[in-house]
Structure 1
């Protein structure tokens, strides 16, 4: 079932390359901060489509319309994301602050323990956060439903904690692998051109610079948007397994 989710999400994310580019353009201006909410709002629409859909369905990618609504949804998503990460962050700060009063091995040991606990809590918090967004989408965008911890826990219980965590960790691995492979392929192509230029006695520094630029553009306009949609779709379909 988990593999079916990945297969569906990988195919779904590549349905409309024009929308990937549009999302990439918005990402390009994310340094202005406001576009960030449009990005999170669009990914929320992907989640909304998934929680009301089925695996291997024929759901289309969401449209870039009603931008004000998309922006508002994006703000709600960011609020949920920040809220769920507060606890792991506070736990780490407590350990770090406590380690500041110690010295040597004790401080190092405390930081290692704090880091490990924070890592575990971080994974749980991220999973809860993703399920919270799905729960909010399934309940017509009700922000309060994103913090209905009892209901969200019941959802995860029904799906299975192991299945949820395994799916989430799988998403991280797939995301890293795809990004790394695409980057490596592009780097290898331009490395061949560059080395060929050096062999012919040509200064190929510009080739490597151009390759880095192309790599950045592809990651920004295609790979990044593709992976964000892939992750949102996968989490939404995972949530739908308990319905």
Structure 2
């Protein structure tokens, strides 16, 4: 799996041009639109991987990539908004209680509120990690099905996410991604690192797509 993932970006005739374009767009991602185009492209990588294609796609239909990137952003926003609101409300109330208690001279109560704030953050952390994981599943499902609605079929998304094949693929993607990112980070001083960093993203989304294909092959009704 790892060998296939590492070779996938280089199996296209114009792979170097593709990686260079992706690296440049990454540098310009603070302008928002280039970042959305990259996200749309990575969805196409996941789709092609899930469909068993041998090489990474090219940057060709820019409008479609932008639209797909917007859809991916919407999926991430919807999945993340509820836990974000819950965390904000809890932290705001507890922090306010701590501040009022401290202002009133009740340092013990203020310390209690502060401790509760820390506990809430610690409890919410694994929830955010789970939501981030399911967001990846939902975005890959969006890429493969082409349906925004399919990304919000939470039951199906969760069933795929808790499939061992997809989980292993994500773990491998994280490990490989971290390794390549370290190399890319060290090489950014000579700009080559930005190519490696984008290459790493292609590899990771290849693995996401591969994991999705393996998981759905064992799951009916998806």
**TM-score normalised by L of structure 1:** 0.74
3-state SS, counterpart of residue 19 of structure 2: helix
Structure-1 residue corresponding to 2:102: none
**Corresponding position of 1:234:** 207
| Residues 117/74 of structure 1: CA separation in 2 closer, same or farther (3 Å cut) | same
- Residues 38-97 of structure 1: CA deviation (Å, up to 9, x unaligned): 1111101001112212xxxx6111021121111111111111112112123123212211
Relative distance call for 1:108 and 1:176 in structure 2 (3 A) is: farther
What's the counterpart of residue 152 of structure 1? Answer: 157
CA RMSD of aligned residues (A): 2.2
Distance 1:21 1:51 in 2: 24
1:9 equivalenced with 2:5 (yes/no): yes
Give the distance between the partners of 1:165 and 1:94, measured in 2 at CA. 31
Residue 175 of structure 1 aligns with which residue?
177
Query: Structure 1 segments of 4 or more deviating over 3 A?
Result: 163-174, 181-184
Within 5 Å, which residues of 2 pair with 1:65-104? Answer: 65-103=60-98, 104=110
Shift of 1:20: 0.8
Whether 1:124 and 2:130 are equivalent positions in the alignment is yes
- Choose between structure 1 and 2 for higher RCO, CA contacts under 8 A separated by at least 6 residues: 1
**Inter-partner Cα distance in structure 2 for 1:166 and 1:117:** 25
Could you say which residue in structure 1 is the equivalent of 2:142? 136
Q: 1:89 and 1:102 mapped to 2: Cα distance?
A: 20
Which residue of 2 is the match for residue 218 of structure 1? 192
Asked if 1:50 corresponds to 2:49, the answer is yes
Distance 1:98-1:169 versus aligned 2 partners, 3 A rule = farther
Tell me if the contact between 2:166 and 2:214 (Cα under 8 Å) persists in the aligned partners: no
Conserved? CA contact 2:83–2:128, under 8 Å: yes
| 5+ long unaligned stretches in structure 2 | 99-109, 218-222
TM-score after normalising by structure 2? 0.80
- Structure 1 residues 29 and 119, CA gap change in structure 2 (3 angstroms): same
Paired residues in the alignment total: 202
